Amino acid sequence: MPRFAANLSLLFNDLGFLERFAAARAAGFDGVEFLFPYAFETEQILGRLQRYQLELVLHNLPAGDWAAGERGMACDPRRIGEFQDSVELALEYAVELGVKRLHCLAGKLHPAVAPERAHATFVDNLRFAAARLAPHGIDLLIEPINDRDVPGYFLTHSRQAAAIVAECAVDNLFLQYDVYHMQRMEGDLAHTLRELLPLVRHIQVADVPGRHEPGTGEINYPFLFGLLDELGYDGWVGCEYHPRGDTVAGLGWRERLAPAR
């Protein structure tokens, strides 16, 4: 059975953020992830991780003005300095919180920036970030995101991401594979996972349509979870979905869909 981590940015959303750690432990999770920690002091988060014996498996680099629709800045040549500052802030939090994986959002392609220049900027920024994280044993992840939910997003396909990892040629850059996004963009999930799993260090799940719990849509999750076991994937699987109702009431999918080891 995969190791499931609760995404505290989406799950238990009837509670305040800092209350969600206790809820995740009570629901049987050993790991948690979330989008951003930066609205809180590290001591606030670390205290809850320690109190409830939870591992923080992932969070994102700062992504700009999220409320205004920004989804990262790593492909924007006009914001290289801001990106580098964001790496330093993320690293500060990651070291304090014991995080070993940080996700770098690529950002949206600005209409005034040529795709080739955005690509070159993204590669340079990833090399910079990976170099800063490496001495701390932290992996940098990139994730293709579907351009229906996020129009204009620069990184949208799994093989595009794999090619960028190869081009960067650093030892601590890997893929974050979100099943929901890749079902919307590509399909062919099993073949892609077989091909690219050596590059994958984190997986996230939600169903299509609606981005709700696994088992509520078209994706054959019993098959995919079995495939991950077959392939020997031993990383975390982040539950990054919008609950259709109460989070706890909807968690039965873990026993129904994931094979026991």
Query: Per-residue pLDDT tens for 188-235?
Result: 999 999 999 999 999 999 999 999 999 999 999 999 999 999 999 999
pLDDT in tens, 145-178: 999 999 999 999 999 999 999 999 999 999 999 9
Residue 228 CB neighbour total at 10 angstroms: 21
Residue 75 has pLDDT above 70, yes or no: yes
3-state SS assignment for residue 63: coil
Q: What is the mean pLDDT of residues 12-21?
A: 98
Identified catalytic residue from 167, 195, 240, 255: 240
Give the pLDDT band of residue 27 (cuts 50, 70, 90).
very high
Q: From CA 11, how far away is CA 247, in angstroms rounded?
A: 6
Residue 260 has pLDDT above 70, yes or no: no
pLDDT in tens, 201-214: 999 999 999 999 99
State the pLDDT at residue 261: 54
Q: Is 33 a catalytic residue?
A: no
Partners of 141 in the beta sheet?
103, 174
**What percentage of the chain carries pLDDT values higher than 90?**
97
Residue 111 has pLDDT above 90, yes or no: yes
Identified catalytic residue from 33, 70, 143, 230: 143
What contacts 24+ positions apart, CB below 8 Å, involve 189-195?
Answer: 189/219, 189/224, 190/223, 190/224, 190/227, 192/158, 193/224, 193/227, 193/228, 193/231, 194/227, 194/231
229 and 1 in contact (C-beta within 8 Å)? yes
Q: N- to C-terminal Cα distance for the chain? A: 6
0.75 exceeded by the pTM?
yes
State the pLDDT at residue 1: 75
Q: Is 240 a catalytic residue?
A: yes
Residue 72 has pLDDT above 60, yes or no: yes
3-257 topology per CATH: TIM Barrel (3.20.20)
pLDDT in tens, 119-140: 999 999 999 999 999 999 999 9
Q: From CA 251, how far away is CA 243, in angstroms rounded?
A: 9
Q: What is the mean pLDDT of residues 45-55?
A: 98
Residue 258 has pLDDT above 90, yes or no: no
